[in-house]
Every structure is written in C-alpha cells, then in structure tokens.
Amino acid sequence: MRYDKNHKELTHQRVVEVASERFRKEGLDAVGVASLMADAGLTHGGFYSHFPSKEALVEEAIVAAMETTSMRLTKAAETGGIEALIASYLRPAHRDHPERGCAAAALCAEIGRHSEATRDAFTEKVRKMTALIESTLPKPDAATAQAICAMMIGTLQLSRAVSDPKLSDEILESGRTAALALAKTKRK
C-alpha cells in the first residue's frame, strides 16, 4: 500500500494531538504508549518511527497544547484586553475540560519532574504566555504579568481539585477578581 507524500507528517500530528489531550486529561505517567497509539488508530510498533522516546512525545505534546492556549488567549486579548484574557482562562468550560485546556494547569507538577529539554520547551511557552499578559496590562510590568500568570494557573488547578461545585465556581470568580485587580495595580 502506497501512502500520500504527507502521510507520515499527518500521522505524526495525529499522535501528538491524541497524546496532548490524553496527557492533559490523565497525566503524563498514566498514559502508556500502546494505548496512546491505539487511540490514534495505529500500532504500538509504529511509535518509534515517529518519536525517539515517550519523553520526546511528551515535549512535543506539551508545546502543542501550550501553543493552542496561547492562540486562544491572544484572540481573547485582541478582542477585550486583559479582562477578556483572564475571563477566557478562568472560565468553567476551561476548568471542566482539562483535555482541551492549558497544559500548565493540567501538568505543571509533573512537568517539573521531566527532562531538562521538556522543561526548557515548557519554560519558553510560559515566557510567551507571560509576555502576552504583560502586553495587555495598562502599565506593562514583567513581575505583575508573572504573578497574574501564576495566579491564573493556580486558580484553575485549585478549582479542578475541590469536590464542591459551588466552591469551585467561587474559586474561579475569586481568581478572576484578584487577577484583574492585580492587572490594574500601578507598580512604582
């Protein structure tokens, strides 16, 4: 059977997309290569023709997920500034669907235990997210942008971790209010 010229590239991308969703939903270590490849409609044996290791896939999947988040936040910022960016990130739909959300909120603790290359790739995406936040501030300031970024990620994580739906909604609302207040604070 002959495949189109771009078949391998499309297959590679499909594996990255499936991995990105599953990693964010289940965690990096909980997802095995065999089940991941089956979900992508491929055999376990084909994995190594696309990736030298699971760690290489982890890195690529995190980068892809963070890039998707960056595009969504950029669009929100372009239409409504810092208010829309914060609201877009700290919303119930984002909380309720980690598989389609920010890799930082879903995987931050796990990423810290992975390879330097994976952490470096993640670091670059966090820098990009922080720079986007900074660009939307009334008075751009890197420290404030970093604090807002950390507050948003932590708020989303906490809202996902509690079992009480009302408390979870309150955490999101409090996070939005606090992040917006911080965004409007004038630093000296």
Give me the residue label for tokens 């969504």.
72
3-state SS class at 188: coil
The pLDDT of residue 179 is 97
**Per-residue pLDDT reduced to its tens digit, 94-121:** 999 999 999 999 999 999 999 999 999 9
Structure tokens at 176: 């939005």
Domain residue limits, the chain: 55-184
Fold entry, domain 55-184: Tetracycline Repressor; domain 2 (1.10.357)
The percentage of residues in the chain with a pLDDT greater than 90, rounded to a whole number, is 78
